[in-house]
Amino acid sequence: MNSGPIAILFLIDYFHRTGGTEKHLAQLITGLSPQEFRATVVAFDLGENPLLDELRQRGIPIIHLPVGREYVPNALRQAWRLSRLVHRQRFDIVQTYHQKADTFGALIVWLAGVRHLISSKRDTGDLRKPLHRFLNRHLQHLFERFIMVAEGVRSAVVARDQLPPERVVTIYNGVDTERFRPPTVQERHAARARLGLESGDAVVGMVAGFRPEKNYEVFFAAAERVVATMPNLRVLAVGTGELLQTFRDRLASSPLGPRTIFAGEVTDVRPWLWAMDVGCLTPGSNEGFSNAVIEQMAVGLPMIVTAVGGNAEAVVDGETGRVIAPGDSAAAAAALTSLFADPARLQGMGRAARRRAEEHFSVHGMCAAHARLYAALAGRRAETTAP
């Protein structure tokens, strides 16, 4: 017999931007029924952003326990605070995100008495250090379940961390298909006019952080190949990061420079997506299951993606876009040229992308899958996921 909501602590290394993991966690917490689940968030590195504001407005406790290095006196103080919080709140389940939460945090809450631990693996782990891999292998016994965001992530992480397959479950990220929808004619016109785009422009965009693993080199190299024969090509690069200025400087002297708009970080990505004809994501490594990809699919964009992480599970090659080998800018250019050469095919792929997002990657489905897992671990039956 149920005895109140299942209490869940979401323990995350950092929550100071509107990145993929932060967006996923905010969606998940918002989508869980408050009658069935009581959520709390603890972050080791916290910064203000709109996602946190929304969670606070819903009454979700957001707690900052600042932990930098794990082997200094401050880490011991924060460990004591975390242990006290666990004793007071009597959490049924703790779900961890990222390396510090998977090791330092998981060990603390386990010692404090929590027995239902879940690790959420967000990418293939290519950037993890040898020490982290060692710790992951030797602390895996703390966790009852490991959630993977894609089968590609599952196969990579299970092999690298030597995880028992029976404790691994795949739950894809979800997209709000009501919020992310194809634009009306007026919305598309307004989105393009705001950016100074003309009706005949062919617009390709990429939404990703400017970090090495996202491999913007391939995206821009492909666009440079295409613009030589397609002078109406326009490029949108949406995101910020350590390499943003590097690419700004590099393209300044390139023929592609005057045709490229660097958006930086945006609070609402939808108008940028509504201005595009084709979306791209060209990582070379360490990909998970991209929120950006399924958001672009949901607004009706055909996608060109590299076969890294879960990209090939989101995009069906030849049906909702093209899947190419990592690092192959020539293949990306050929795919882009082919799509723009056949407007009817481009539009058909966009419609198919929208259907696939609705049918396979809805935020409701993602939250329902998590709710069933939580209920099973806590010996309950999940009823609904609507807030």
Is 273 a residue whose pLDDT tops 80? yes
Is 176 a residue whose pLDDT tops 70? yes
Q: For residues 340 and 277, is the Cβ–Cβ distance under 8 A?
A: yes
Is 2 a residue whose pLDDT tops 70? no
The per-residue pLDDT for 310 is: 95
CATH topology assigned to domain 185-360:
Rossmann fold (3.40.50)
pLDDT band at 385 (very low <50, low <70, confident <90, very high): very low
End-to-end CA distance of the chain: 22
Is 17 a residue whose pLDDT tops 80? no
| pLDDT tens-digit readout, 59-117 | 999 999 999 988 899 999 999 999 999 999 999 999 999 999 999 999 999 999 999 99
| Phi, psi angles (nearest 5°) of residue 121 | -95, 120
Summarize the confidence of residues 318-344 as an average pLDDT: 97
Summarize the confidence of residues 30-38 as an average pLDDT: 96
Closest CA to 352 of 364, 360, 340: 360
Summarize the confidence of residues 327-349 as an average pLDDT: 97
pLDDT band at 16 (very low <50, low <70, confident <90, very high): confident
The per-residue pLDDT for 30 is: 96
DSSP codes joined into one string, 66-97? --SSTTSHHHHHHHHHHHHHHHHHT-SEEEEE
Q: For residues 236 and 276, is the Cβ–Cβ distance under 8 A?
A: yes
DSSP codes joined into one string, 135-160? HHHHTGGG-SEEEESSHHHHHHHHHH
The per-residue pLDDT for 75 is: 93
Domain 6-174+362-377: CATH architecture, name and number where available: 3-Layer(aba) Sandwich (3.40)
Q: Tell me the percentage of the chain whose pLDDT exceeds 90.
A: 87
The per-residue pLDDT for 382 is: 57
The per-residue pLDDT for 383 is: 59
pLDDT band at 1 (very low <50, low <70, confident <90, very high): very low
Summarize the confidence of residues 45-59 as an average pLDDT: 92
The per-residue pLDDT for 10 is: 98
- Which structure tokens are listed for 381? 């039956």
The per-residue pLDDT for 125 is: 87
Domains 6-174+362-377 and 185-360 share a fold: yes
Is 255 a residue whose pLDDT tops 70? yes
Question: Who's near 140: CB < 8 A, 6+ residues apart?
Answer: 146, 161, 162, 163, 164
The per-residue pLDDT for 189 is: 97
The per-residue pLDDT for 127 is: 82
- Which structure tokens are listed for 158? 């299970």
Mean pLDDT of all residues belonging to the chain: 94
- For the chain, the structural domain boundaries read 6-174+362-377, 185-360
| 128-142, 145-159, 246-260, 299-313: least confidently modelled range | 128-142
The per-residue pLDDT for 164 is: 94
